[in-house]
Amino acid sequence: MSQQTTIRKLAELVNTPVEKLLEQLAEAGMKFSGPDQVITSAEKLKLHGFLRRAHGKADKPADEAIAPGKITLSRSRKQEITVGGSGKTGRTGGSTIEVVTRKKITLKPGAGQGPSAADMDAERADALRKLEESRARNLAEQQALAEKDRQRAEELADIRRREQEDAERAAAEAAANAEVALEEAGKTKTHGHGHAHPKPSAPAREADKGGAHKGKTAHRGSHVMQTGVEDDDSTARFAGQLHLSASDRARRSSAPRGGRGKPARRSMDQSRTGTGFNKPVAPMVREIAIGDAITVGDLAQKLALKGGEVVKALFKMGVMATITQTIDHDTAVLVTEELGHKAVHADAGDAESELLAHAEEVQGEKTQRPPVVTIMGHVDHGKTSLLDYIRRTKVATGEAGGITQHIGAYHVTTPKGTISFLDTPGHAAFTHMRQRGARLTDIVVLVVAADDGVMPQTAEAIQHAKAAKVPLIVAINKIDKSDADPSRVKNDLLAHEVVAEEFGGDVQMVELSAKTGQGVDNLLDAISLQAEMLDLQAVREGRATGVVIESALDKGRGPVATVLVQQGNLSKGDYLVCGIQYGRVRALFDETGNQVQSAGPSIPVQILGLSGVPEAGDDFVVVADERLAKDVAQQRDTKRREMRLVASAGNRMEDIMAQMGEGASQLALNLVVKADVHGTMQALREALTGLSNDQIRINVIGSGVGGITESDAQLAMTSKATVIGFNVRADASARKVIEGNGIDLRYFSIIYDVIDQVKQVASNVLGKEIREEIIGIAEVRDVFRSSKFGAVAGCMVVEGVVKKSKPIRVLRDSVVIFEGELESLRRFKENVDEVRVNTECGIGVKAYNDVKPGDQIECFERIEVQRTL
Ligand SMILES: Nc1nc2c(ncn2[C@@H]2O[C@H](COP(=O)(O)OP(=O)(O)OP(=O)(O)O)[C@@H](O)[C@H]2O)c(=O)[nH]1
């Protein structure tokens, strides 16, 4: 506005009549003489303010413009900026500031309209001040965060250091396994080395780049101060720092401390590539095979753990075991799973299945085979005499003197066919059957002395035969004796459901005398007849299978075993597996001691050539070659040893329990059993352990064939066992230990005596128990009350005898309501010590006055009873 404005010109400009303008100016308090008078800018503004007010609008700038000297016209722009440490407003307390920027024009009277040098007004200064404050606040926050990050980084570094140590330890432990694994995989160590420092993976590289945070900043663009409002570089950079991500900050703050700050990251990458011995990212789960038993040490080795760790885990499970101790399969599986690994059952092995495949090959035409007979009966009823008679008269034909040797079994040839007898204790025959789940005996001959009748062991034999579903033939022996009464025997047997044919049953009964031989042929006929009815068949050709009946170690000939062939044909030169032994049949002998070339089904034969002494009851199988025989035998040996370890571990445990007197209410009686032959030893072991019940457990902790040795005596001493010698004696050194330590040693030659005596010993161990016995019951008929005696019950003794000195119980409706003792017991007015059945009496109960008619007073006593098996 370089030109001066007149009122007329202004009226034209604002399009208002000049008169009206003059009026308005007059109203605004400005007097003008005419329209050509000049109007100043101040006057213009005054008019403008007047007019706004007149229209009801307040105009602050206009008011301010009233200030003398200058008029400022302004155009404003609002802008919001957010400031805060990480951009996460909520966490760091960042704030939003409203910045108002104005374009200002200050008009000075006569000074034209261009922008003045003092563009910055008070508001702007205020906004900048606030911004400065905010910056300062954020800087403080930044520093606090940096401090926190530094602490956190230190913690992380600490954790990583510990992990690294753990990893190194794990690596050392895994070294052995890894070597094996590497060998298996055909990898060389250099291969592993080449990957020891792999390049970081793509994402890792990207994350490592310095620009990582930039990308994030860009992503958070809404938080960045926009340029153009304030061209402030420092603020822009500052804002960039504010928006660093937490991870970036952590890395940035840890970087200077950790050198290059990357070892942890590198190790992660290595583990991902699967090279080097770094701590695995997930726990390593091993799958291990466990047999029937394993020592704690072996298990730890399989799991690549320290023995102590497995012991500790077992302890937590309530199993106390040392590293050398054996644990059974189930416990081993449990602890393996507890330790986070997997367990599978160790396969029995291919050799055994191969063996089975071979065994199945023994197929062919089946033909009639001889019956296998076991003789059983009560002691002294004549079993041995009968067997001897048959052997003497029917075996060894053609041999001078007919001397036969005892090999545990023999066969006789009768006009009606061959019969094989098992010359082992009846128990043993059935033990074998139970063990193998197969029939070893076809027929049981039950010997009953005609003069003695049915006795306990007769009944026991009947039970055995019935349980095994083996048919019976009864030999009524000693009929030569004057007091023989065969019909009484037959009648007695009826009570055991053994019914003679003549009574309409199906059991053949033969009267005979083992002494004179009378009727023995009839018995053989009866056996042949029974065998025919049973239609016993077997394959005669092919590889033989069967069972060991007896075994021993012969000083001159080595291990000898009497086997009963069940299928096929056993020949000299055959390879066989026999229990855990194997070998090639060097020679076969029959019961007369003659060498034979082969033996068919149901024929017992003694063999030489085994690697060791098999156990009675072991099976044998002829196999194609020695290798297979050896493999199977060794596998079985391992398995059996494992089982023994478990059994002995169990024994040890029970001993400990018994000694501690806690954890088991069951008592234990330990025995060491030695016998002359395997069959007897096995029969004894079975029979004795079978005596165990809830209260006592009979442990045969040691058993074997042969004399009692010093080691047997030592075993007995350490486990406080009783030594049983069956047809064997203790040698000098064993006797010394036995006598010196007071070990209980007993010799026997009759199985039943052993059982009886063990029962007695067990009873002593069991001790006595206190039992209560009710000796009398009195019924309350009436109750009298006296000040002197209290309540006195008028009673009738309905059972037994009521004694003053014995404890009593008061019963109401068959429920005990009081237990105590008697205060008084009277017959009429007299005090008595006892009152018998069907007698009236007066009873005063001590400390109890609530007796009512209808109650029962039960009198009892406590007695000591010897516990028995
Ligand atoms: N008179 C007579 N005596 C017999 C007969 N059979 C056996 N004896 C006698 O009875 C006794 C016992 O006979 P063993 O054959 O030993 O009886 P066991 O049943 O084998 O006895 P253990 O082997 O001890 O169970 C012996 O003295 C025999 O001589 C018989 O038929 N008549």
Q: What is the mean pLDDT of residues 446-462?
A: 88
Q: What is the mean pLDDT of residues 115-142?
A: 68
User: What distance, in Å, lies between the first and last C-alpha atoms of the chain?
Assistant: 136
Taking a C-beta distance cutoff of 8 angstroms, is the pair 623, 577 a contact?
A: yes
**CA-closest residue to ligand 1 atom 32:** 478
381 lines ligand 1 (CB under 6 A): yes
Cα of 478 vs centre of ligand 1, distance in Å, is 8
pLDDT, residue 320, reads 79
Closest approach atom of ligand 1 to CA 477: 31
680 lines ligand 1 (CB under 6 A): no
CATH class of 661-766: alpha beta
478 lines ligand 1 (CB under 6 A): yes
In percent, how much of the chain has pLDDT > 90?
A: 21
pLDDT, residue 710, reads 84
Please report the sign of the dihedral spanned by the C-alpha atoms of residue 291, residue 296, residue 297, residue 301.
Answer: positive
Closest CA to 444 of 362, 383, 490, 392: 383
**CA-closest residue to ligand 1 atom 2:** 478
Task: Outline where DSSP puts E strands in 210-268.
Answer: none
d(CA 379, CA 472): 18
Closest approach atom of ligand 1 to CA 381: 19
Range in 479-483, 737-741, 809-813 the model is least confident about: 737-741
**CA-closest residue to ligand 1 atom 30:** 478
**CA-closest residue to ligand 1 atom 7:** 382
d(CA 302, CA 296): 10
**CA-closest residue to ligand 1 atom 9:** 382
Domain boundaries, the chain: 1-56+116-188+195-266, 287-345, 351-364+539-627, 370-535, 661-766, 769-866
Taking a C-beta distance cutoff of 8 angstroms, is the pair 461, 426 a contact?
A: yes
432 lines ligand 1 (CB under 6 A): no
Phi/psi of residue 473, each to 5°? -125, 130
Position 312: which residue type? Answer: K
Cα of 429 vs centre of ligand 1, distance in Å, is 21
383 lines ligand 1 (CB under 6 A): yes
Fold of 370-535: Rossmann fold (3.40.50)
pLDDT per position as a tens digit, 627-646: 888 888 887 777 776 666 55
514 lines ligand 1 (CB under 6 A): yes
pLDDT, residue 353, reads 58
pLDDT bin (cut points 50, 70, 90) of residue 502 is confident
Closest CA to 547 of 499, 603, 597: 603
Taking a C-beta distance cutoff of 8 angstroms, is the pair 155, 148 a contact?
A: no
Answer CATH for 769-866 from 3.40.640.10, 3.30.70.580, 3.30.70.120, 2.40.30.10:
2.40.30.10
d(CA 534, CA 528): 10
pLDDT, residue 803, reads 93
Q: Give 288's strand partners.
A: 343
720 lines ligand 1 (CB under 6 A): no
Range in 392-406, 450-464, 470-484 the model is least confident about: 392-406
pLDDT bin (cut points 50, 70, 90) of residue 307 is confident
> Which is higher by pLDDT, 250 or 156?
156
- The continuous run of DSSP H or E covering 553 comes out as strand 545-554
pLDDT, residue 160, reads 77
pLDDT, residue 208, reads 40
Q: Reply yes or no on whether the pLDDT at 780 is more than 80.
A: yes
Question: Is it true that 370-535 and 661-766 share their CATH fold?
Answer: yes
pLDDT, residue 520, reads 93
Taking a C-beta distance cutoff of 8 angstroms, is the pair 437, 688 a contact?
A: no
727 lines ligand 1 (CB under 6 A): no
Cα of 515 vs centre of ligand 1, distance in Å, is 8
pLDDT, residue 756, reads 86
Q: Taking the mean position of all CA atoms in its chain, how far away is CA 825?
A: 63
Range in 201-215, 272-286, 731-745 the model is least confident about: 201-215
753 lines ligand 1 (CB under 6 A): no
d(CA 622, CA 584): 9
pLDDT bin (cut points 50, 70, 90) of residue 521 is very high
Taking a C-beta distance cutoff of 8 angstroms, is the pair 249, 143 a contact?
A: no
823 lines ligand 1 (CB under 6 A): no
Q: Give 290's strand partners.
A: 345
d(CA 619, CA 436): 8
Q: Reply yes or no on whether the pLDDT at 91 is more than 80.
A: no
Closest approach atom of ligand 1 to CA 512: 31
385 lines ligand 1 (CB under 6 A): yes
Residue 590: CB atoms within 10 A of its CB come to 20
pLDDT, residue 358, reads 57
Cα of 385 vs centre of ligand 1, distance in Å, is 5
Cα of 259 vs centre of ligand 1, distance in Å, is 100
Taking a C-beta distance cutoff of 8 angstroms, is the pair 333, 290 a contact?
A: yes
Q: What is the mean pLDDT of residues 289-310?
A: 84
pLDDT bin (cut points 50, 70, 90) of residue 20 is confident
pLDDT bin (cut points 50, 70, 90) of residue 424 is low
Closest approach atom of ligand 1 to CA 478: 31
Residue 594: CB atoms within 10 A of its CB come to 11
Best residue among 376, 378, 380 to mutate for probing ligand 1's pocket (most ligand atoms within 8 Å of CB) is 380
pTM of the model: 0.45
Taking a C-beta distance cutoff of 8 angstroms, is the pair 780, 813 a contact?
A: no
Residues 6+ apart with CB under 8 A from 351: 628, 631, 632, 635
378 lines ligand 1 (CB under 6 A): no
Cα of 384 vs centre of ligand 1, distance in Å, is 7
Range in 236-240, 397-401, 589-593 the model is least confident about: 236-240
Supply the angle between the helices 122-185 and 246-254 in degrees, to the nearest 10.
70
Range in 194-198, 370-374, 386-390, 670-674 the model is least confident about: 194-198
519 lines ligand 1 (CB under 6 A): no
pLDDT per position as a tens digit, 676-730: 887 788 888 888 988 888 778 888 888 888 889 888 888 888 778 899 999 899 9
Cα of 691 vs centre of ligand 1, distance in Å, is 27
Best residue among 375, 384, 427, 677 to mutate for probing ligand 1's pocket (most ligand atoms within 8 Å of CB) is 384
pLDDT, residue 98, reads 55
458 lines ligand 1 (CB under 6 A): no
Q: Reply yes or no on whether the pLDDT at 613 is more than 60.
A: yes
Task: Outline where DSSP puts E strands in 787-855.
Answer: 790-803, 808-812, 815-820, 822-827, 830-831, 834-836, 840-845
Closest approach atom of ligand 1 to CA 751: 25
Binding site members: 377-384, 423-427, 477-480
Q: What is the mean pLDDT of residues 251-278?
A: 42
pLDDT per position as a tens digit, 133-156: 777 777 787 787 778 777 877 887
Answer CATH for 351-364+539-627 from 2.40.128.50, 2.60.40.10, 1.20.210.10, 2.40.30.10:
2.40.30.10
pLDDT bin (cut points 50, 70, 90) of residue 241 is very low
Residue 434: CB atoms within 10 A of its CB come to 15
**CA-closest residue to ligand 1 atom 12:** 380
d(CA 663, CA 667): 11
d(CA 784, CA 853): 10
435 lines ligand 1 (CB under 6 A): no
Residue 644: CB atoms within 10 A of its CB come to 12
Cα of 444 vs centre of ligand 1, distance in Å, is 18
Closest approach atom of ligand 1 to CA 387: 15
d(CA 246, CA 233): 24
Cα of 754 vs centre of ligand 1, distance in Å, is 19
Binding site members for GTP: 377-384, 423-427, 477-480
**CA-closest residue to ligand 1 atom 25:** 379
Taking a C-beta distance cutoff of 8 angstroms, is the pair 527, 510 a contact?
A: no
d(CA 190, CA 57): 91
pLDDT, residue 509, reads 95
**CA-closest residue to ligand 1 atom 27:** 380
Closest CA to 383 of 433, 327, 431, 455: 455
Answer CATH for 287-345 from 1.10.357, 1.10.10, 3.40.50, 2.120.10:
1.10.10
Task: Outline where DSSP puts E strands in 655-741.
Answer: 667-675, 696-705, 722-726
Q: What is the mean pLDDT of residues 456-480?
A: 86
> Which is higher by pLDDT, 510 or 400?
510
The three-state secondary structure class of 711 is helix
Cα of 379 vs centre of ligand 1, distance in Å, is 8
Cα of 455 vs centre of ligand 1, distance in Å, is 15
Q: Reply yes or no on whether the pLDDT at 478 is more than 90.
A: yes
Cα of 425 vs centre of ligand 1, distance in Å, is 15
Q: Give CA separation, 532 vs 390, 501, 578, 606, 665, in Å.
A: 20, 17, 31, 27, 53
Q: Reply yes or no on whether the pLDDT at 557 is more than 60.
A: yes
SS3 sequence of 641-660: HHHHHHHHHHHHHHHHHHHH
pLDDT, residue 56, reads 59
> Which is higher by pLDDT, 585 or 592?
585
pLDDT per position as a tens digit, 324-382: 777 888 888 889 988 888 887 765 555 565 566 555 555 678 889 999 998 888 888 98
ipTM: 0.98
Only one residue has tokens 């009738």, namely 796
Best residue among 385, 481, 520, 727 to mutate for probing ligand 1's pocket (most ligand atoms within 8 Å of CB) is 385
d(CA 250, CA 257): 11
In percent, how much of the chain has pLDDT > 70?
A: 69
pLDDT, residue 665, reads 59
d(CA 698, CA 671): 7
pLDDT bin (cut points 50, 70, 90) of residue 104 is very low
Q: What is the CA radius of gyration of the chain?
A: 55
> Which is higher by pLDDT, 847 or 107?
847
427 lines ligand 1 (CB under 6 A): no
**CA-closest residue to ligand 1 atom 11:** 380
pLDDT, residue 498, reads 93
> Which is higher by pLDDT, 160 or 351?
160
> Which is higher by pLDDT, 323 or 564?
564
426 lines ligand 1 (CB under 6 A): no
Average of per-residue pLDDT values in the chain:
74
pLDDT, residue 177, reads 56
388 lines ligand 1 (CB under 6 A): no
Cα of 27 vs centre of ligand 1, distance in Å, is 163
Which residue pairs, CB below 8 angstroms and at least 24 apart, start in 259-265?
Answer: 262/208, 263/160, 263/164, 264/156, 264/160, 265/200, 265/204, 265/208
